[in-house]
Homo-oligomer: A and B are copies of this chain.
């Protein structure tokens, strides 16, 4: 089968064998915005030469702006619940091949406020197959980081932090970014940022420390970017309970290193998982739905 992770700004495709191992993978920048409605054409080009009859897709391709909108499934949700909500494209949508889209998930906090994900649920489905069924804490770092609680073999709840997007915005467009100079990763400045995030005060105030610490030479211009990275990741982790136990991470290697370091500074062990968790999750969902022979 073919697993597809089709987000706003990127497209990744994976070819899996019958036992669920990833044999080939490709990626491109042709996210759903760049696809501009020509989803079948873009997908055909991307999986050129792969003739597998079953395709399972996740991500913004199932959103209102995507190929078809697939309604969110409410948490708690396990493999069975998500698999039963897979939505099949019409048979003629992609040259007669069987194409399914994975639903996104919706989580409500204690006040009833909603949070959503599209795409990350396949990473979580992959993890569900790897981890023991007791309560687990998962972080999926990224543009919109997800903190997830797994329990009883299901995705119990999650919350989104705009850590990655804010970091990019501040580096690229703010007065803080203009003070920065590129440099090697600086673990000490990063750690200072993580520590600063635990102080009293709001993020709105803490951000200004990037300026003042630079102004009084407590940080060199090339240390401001790692400091800001630590500050934002530290804020994301501020409400992580002390008894969260080992935190499971799925994401790009550079992010995993940063989050592992930040978690260690806060006294938490971390376990990094392969980004292939997403493809494994698609495979697990297909098997659960009876789509694999």
Q: Give me the interface of A with B, judged by CB distance under 8 Å.
A: 8, 111, 113-116, 144-145, 159-163, 165-166, 169-170, 172-175, 199-205, 207-209, 211-212, 215-216, 232, 235-236, 238-239
Contacts and interface: CB of A to CB of B under 8 A. Distances in A.
A238 B202 contact: yes
B144 A236 contact: no
Given A114-B216, A173-B172, A175-B165, A232 B209 contact: no
A72 to B, nearest CB: 9
Contact of A202 (B116, B169, B212, B236): B236
Contacts of A202: 161, 203, 235-236, 238-239
A189 to B, nearest CB: 15
A173 B167 CA distance: 12
A116 B145 CA distance: 32
B235 A204 contact: yes
Contact of A239 (B165, B200, B232): B200
A235 B206 CA distance: 12
B173 A169 contact: yes
Contacts of A161: 202, 204-205, 208
A238 B39 CA distance: 45
A216 B113 CA distance: 10
Given A170-B169, A202-B161, A203-B204, A113 B209 contact: yes
Given A169-B170, A205-B159, A115 B212 contact: yes
Contacts of A169: 169-170, 173-174
Contacts of A211: 116
A8 B179 CA distance: 14
A278 B209 CA distance: 25
Nearest to A175: B165
A65 to B, nearest CB: 11
A262 B212 CA distance: 28
The 10 A-B pairs at the shortest CB distance, nearest first, are namely: A161-B204, A160-B208, A203-B203, A162-B207, A114-B212, A169-B169, A161-B205, A202-B235, A173-B173, A159-B205
